[in-house]
């Protein structure tokens, strides 16, 4: 890890591991993280990553990175590379080489043959619709397939024909022979091999039959010597199948599966199918769009590995399904960046200020701290002159006492600079203010006003001749409702304000900002330079300074 981790909170998984170690059941802990390479990892995967890799690290064990690559039609090497990049970026290291379920295709095929030889698997010719009909319901048992009692010899021949590509896709499959009356639906003779004429990103065209996840996963765990197979609660019923497969093949290792609650986060979706829809239908710019809950999207938005790990630590590991507020994730990055991010000034919606009584042609250099509480971060120089940019929302011709910024006839302090007073304005033909004329108090730099009078507030600014033009991407929550997955069509509740692009100006020191380096823009939020565009100066807002959604919810 790149930095000392906080002491992990105890949870039921750690209690199981500590008991197993104390009882001598295991001397070395071995876990695994087994993503499917059919999309980018998201924040939900980060919880599993932190759990599996964190446990291996804390108990001096090892964690394998194994790609569950049993569905070649939806998988891609690009996803393999993105997943490795994300795991490494989060600060974790897998044990040994990257592994693939496809590494074990020969062994998996051998174990399927073993089940056939034992009379525990058969080739079935029911189509998908018929199979659903025969499977039964939660209240009614299933019915045996008419092919269930085919002889071992015949099944061996048929499975070889499947292997040789003599059947069409969907024409038949290999099913485990378990119990069609089982109260657990996945134990009703589940499919363990199906035909797919698709080239695999690791094995090429060697295979035209591919094992199903439930058959593959437990055997892969056993072949790798996994001690604790940790997965989310939706696989709880599948544990019975996990154990059945390992109990009925000649494999010496029998890992145990334990389930924990998945991460559900407000105002987003965690289904890779739905995330892929957002990408494919152009609702976002790609998997790395900063509005996406993907690790790559969060990284581009300015989230740090430590903030994501801290978020996973705070939410903990339980068996209770719950929905985590988006504010909990945002709080983690705010807490970190408030301490670490240097300050800078940028004006996102500029209006010009002219200081009438400031000397023409003079450019003053004002030293300003990079962080108010961290002198060790040093300072930067702010050019100050007769003409400035300020935020349009920071000026009103008239305002009540609650408006703490610049008002016609009122005074404010410029951050790290002078006190100015608004005297008059110019307006365009449509009534839009185009310029604010001010006077300044020459003795107010770094000190109170001479006669002790108070100003309304403090606003940020940049000097016009040295300011650098920049684009600012103001990202917000992708959906306008807390649970978009509950909608008939989640696409109908996409937040139209999830991305607002503004063109403004930044202080000159930001011209050399490094991609992904965080800044707190005074009164605007936390930003980082976008890593996808090296030519233009583009800043992405990571998070606002405050949780404005909580305030909106209180008013609702």
Render pLDDT for 248-261 as a digit per residue (tens, 0 to 9).
Answer: 999 999 999 999 99
**Edge to edge, what strands does the sheet with 99-100 contain?**
30-33, 62-67, 99-100
How is domain 105-214 classified at the CATH fold level? Answer: 3.90.800
pLDDT at 6 over 70: no
Where along the chain do its domains lie?
12-100+215-272+302-328, 105-214, 344-463, 468-555
At 452, the pLDDT band (50, 70, 90 cuts) reads confident
Catalytic positions, written as ranges = 36, 262, 272
- Sign of the dihedral defined by the CA atoms of residues 24, 29, 30, 34, in that order: positive
**The domain made up of 468-555 is a member of CATH 2.40.240.10:** yes
Mean per-residue pLDDT for 185-199? 97
Superfamily of segment(s) 12-100+215-272+302-328: HUPs (3.40.50.620)
Span 510-541, pLDDT tens digits: 999 999 899 999 999 999 999 887 778 999 99
State the pLDDT at residue 7.
Answer: 64
Using the predicted structure, report yes or no on whether residue 325 has a pLDDT greater than 90: yes
Q: Quick one: pLDDT band at residue 555, thresholds 50, 70, 90? A: very low
Query: 0.85 cut: is pTM over it?
Result: yes
Q: What is the pLDDT of residues 152-176, one digit of tens each?
A: 999 999 999 999 999 999 999 999 9
pLDDT band at 556 (very low <50, low <70, confident <90, very high): very low
Do 344-463 and 468-555 come out as alike in CATH topology?
A: yes
Of the pLDDT bands very low, low, confident and very high (cuts 50, 70, 90), residue 4 is: very low
Query: For a pLDDT cut of 90, what percent of the chain falls above it?
Result: 92
Query: 160-185: string of b/e by CB count within 10 Å (b at 16+)?
Result: eebbeeebeeeebbbbbbbebebeee
Using alpha carbons, list the distances in angstroms from residue 545 to 100, 267, 339, 390, 521. Answer: 43, 19, 13, 19, 9
100 token code pair: 């693939």
Q: Which residue(s) pair with 264 in the sheet?
A: 323
The CATH number of the structural domain formed by 344-463 is 2.40.240.10
| pLDDT on residue 104 | 98
For 12, residues 6+ apart whose C-beta sits below 8 A from its C-beta are 260, 317, 318, 319
Say what the pLDDT of residue 546 is: 86
Q: Which of 241, 237, 251 is nearest to 177 (CA)?
A: 241
């Amino acid at each position: 890890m790149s930095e000392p981790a906080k002491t992990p909170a105890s949870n039921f998984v750690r209690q199981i591991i500590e008991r197993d170690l104390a009882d001598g059941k295991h001397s070395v802990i071995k876990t695994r993280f087994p993503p499917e390479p059919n999309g980018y990892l998201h924040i939900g995967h980060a919880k599993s990553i932190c759990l599996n890799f964190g446990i291996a690290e804390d108990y001096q064990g090892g964690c394998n990175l194994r790609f569950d690559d049993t569905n070649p039609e939806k998988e891609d090497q690009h996803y393999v590379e993105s997943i490795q990049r994300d795991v490494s970026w989060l600060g974790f290291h897998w044990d040994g080489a990257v592994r693939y379920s496809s590494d074990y295709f020969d062994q998996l095929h051998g174990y399927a043959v073993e089940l056939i030889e034992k009379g525990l698997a058969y080739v079935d010719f029911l189509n998908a619709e018929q199979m659903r009909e025969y499977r039964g319901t939660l209240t009614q048992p299933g019915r045996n397939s008419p092919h269930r009692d085919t002889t071992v010899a015949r099944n061996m021949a048929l499975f070889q024909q499947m292997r040789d590509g003599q059947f069409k896709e969907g024409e038949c499959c290999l099913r485990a022979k378990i119990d069609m009356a089982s109260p657990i639906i996945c134990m009703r003779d589940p499919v363990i091999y199906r035909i797919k004429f698709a080239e695999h990103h690791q094995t090429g065209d060697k295979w035209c039959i591919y094992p199903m996840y439930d058959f593959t996963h437990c055997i892969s765990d056993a072949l790798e010597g996994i001690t604790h197979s940790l997965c989310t609660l939706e696989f709880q019923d599948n544990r019975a199948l996990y154990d059945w497969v390992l109990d009925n093949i000649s494999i010496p290792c029998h890992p145990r599966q334990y389930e924990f609650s998945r991460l559900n986060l407000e105002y987003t979706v965690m289904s890779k199918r739905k995330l892929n829809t957002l990408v494919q239908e152009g609702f976002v710019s790609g998997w790395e769009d900063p509005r996406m809950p993907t690790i790559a999207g969060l990284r581009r938005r300015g989230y740090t590995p430590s903030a994501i790990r801290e978020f996973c630590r705070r939410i903990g590991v339980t068996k209770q399904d719950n929905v985590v507020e988006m504010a909990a994730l945002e709080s983690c990055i705010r807490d970190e960046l408030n301490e670490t991010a240097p300050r800078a000034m940028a004006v996102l919606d500029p209006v010009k200020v002219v200081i009438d009584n400031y000397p023409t042609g003079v450019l003053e250099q004002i030293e300003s701290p990079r962080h108010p509480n961290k002198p060790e971060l040093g300072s930067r120089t702010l050019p100050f002159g007769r003409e400035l940019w300020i935020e349009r929302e920071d000026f009103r011709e008239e305002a009540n006492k609650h408006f703490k910024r610049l008002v016609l006839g009122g005074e404010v302090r410029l951050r790290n600079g002078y006190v100015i007073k608004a005297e008059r304005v110019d307006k365009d033909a449509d009534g839009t203010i185009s310029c604010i004329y001010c006077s300044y108090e020459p003795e107010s730099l770094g000190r109170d006003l001479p006669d002790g009078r108070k100003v309304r507030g403090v606003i940020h600014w940049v000097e016009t001749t040295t300011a650098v033009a920049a684009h600012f991407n103001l990202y917000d929550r992708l959906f306008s409702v807390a649970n978009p997955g509950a909608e008939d069509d989640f696409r109908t509740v996409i937040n139209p304000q999830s991305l607002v692009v503004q063109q403004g100006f930044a202080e000159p020191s930001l011209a050399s900002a490094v991609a992904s380096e965080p800044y707190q823009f005074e009164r605007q939020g936390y930003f980082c330079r976008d890593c996808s565009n090296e030519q233009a100066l583009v800043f992405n807002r990571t998070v606002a300074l405050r949780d404005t959604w909580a305030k909106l919810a209180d008013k609702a």
